[in-house]
């Protein structure tokens, strides 16, 4: 959004941030400035000022600074007539516009609450879906891609293959592999001519990818009172007291 104004209505810098978010950010900065002023006068609480968010204040200050630079350049360009100088102003205004938009993106990212599960390692499962053998091949290629990513990022990659798919535990040095892999969950589709296709037909295959945060021991607590334990005997004809001896156990979580 950009509007070239007059002396009474100054031009507006480019923006992608919704007006409601912009109003929230401006109100937040007013509260932050009020706390900073109170600290300077010795009346504020340091903990309150820190709680407002120093890093976020720096991002907003960068956004406001880029807007001020953009507005100053636009005003100087409006009184310039030299074509070469005007070209320089255009380049500088374009650069200031990019800085504004980059700062807005950082502000929006800063407003997104942290996911408490992002500090976990990840369990990833890749299974072939529609497409038969070609889907299984695509699943294997995807699994190798995740393995390569893990190796390139100094992560451990413990894998196994069960019926119909691949399962791996990916552990990052900082224990935050789930942060980078959580958006991989879902159905992945590929359209290509398989190497085994002799007539050159295009095939569509799909693969399902499930990414879960690695559970911690404290995550699950089961009270023994909530469990029902049944011992079962065999059924049907047979000797050796098969109908009398318990040969398997079933545990049911009642809730």
Over residues 101-140, the pLDDT tens digits come to 888 888 777 777 777 777 788 888 888 888 777 888 888 8
CB 203 within 8 A of CB 192: yes
Per-residue pLDDT, 8: 46
Question: 250: phi > 0 → left, psi -120 to 50 → alpha, else beta; which?
Answer: beta
Cα angle value 182/184/186 (rounded, 5°): 110
**Collapsing DSSP states into helix, strand and coil, what is residue 225?**
helix
> What is the distance between the alpha carbons of residues 255 and 252, in angstroms, rounded to a whole number?
9
Over residues 26-35, the pLDDT tens digits come to 777 777 777 7
Over residues 146-178, the pLDDT tens digits come to 888 888 888 888 877 776 677 888 787 777 788
pLDDT exceeding 70 applies to what percent of the chain? 77
Which residue, 8, 15, 11, is CA-closest to 76? 11
By residue count, the chain amounts to 255
First to last CA, the chain: 54
Verdict on whether the full-model pTM lies above 0.85: no
> What is the distance between the alpha carbons of residues 20 and 146, in angstroms, rounded to a whole number?
39
């Amino acid at each position: 959004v950009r509007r070239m104004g007059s002396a009474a209505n100054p031009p507006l810098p480019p923006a992608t941030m919704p007006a409601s978010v912009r109003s929230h950010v401006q109100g937040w900065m007013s509260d932050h400035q009020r706390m900073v002023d109170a600290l300077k006068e010795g009346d504020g609480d340091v903990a309150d000022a820190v709680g407002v968010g120093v890093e976020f204040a720096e991002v907003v200050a960068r956004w406001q600074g880029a807007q001020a630079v953009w507005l100053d350049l636009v005003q100087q360009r409006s009184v310039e007539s030299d074509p070469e100088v005007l070209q320089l102003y255009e380049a500088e205004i374009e650069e200031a516009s990019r800085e504004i938009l980059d700062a807005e993106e950082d502000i929006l990212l800063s407003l997104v609450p942290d996911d408490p599960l992002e500090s976990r390692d990840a369990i990833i499962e890749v299974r072939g879906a529609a497409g038969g053998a070609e889907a299984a091949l695509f699943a294997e290629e995807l699994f190798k891609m995740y393995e390569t990513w893990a190796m390139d990022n100094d992560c451990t990659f413990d894998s196994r293959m069960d019926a119909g798919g691949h399962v791996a535990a990916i552990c990052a040095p900082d224990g935050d592999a789930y942060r980078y892999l959580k958006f991989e969950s879902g159905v992945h589709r590929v359209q290509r001519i398989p190497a085994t296709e002799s007539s050159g037909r295009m095939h569509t295959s799909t693969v399902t990818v499930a990414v879960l945060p690695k559970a911690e021991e404290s995550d699950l607590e089961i009270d023994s009172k909530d469990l029902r334990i049944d011992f079962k005997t065999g059924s049907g004809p047979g000797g050796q007291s098969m109908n009398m001896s318990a040969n398997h156990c079933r545990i049911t979580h009642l809730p």
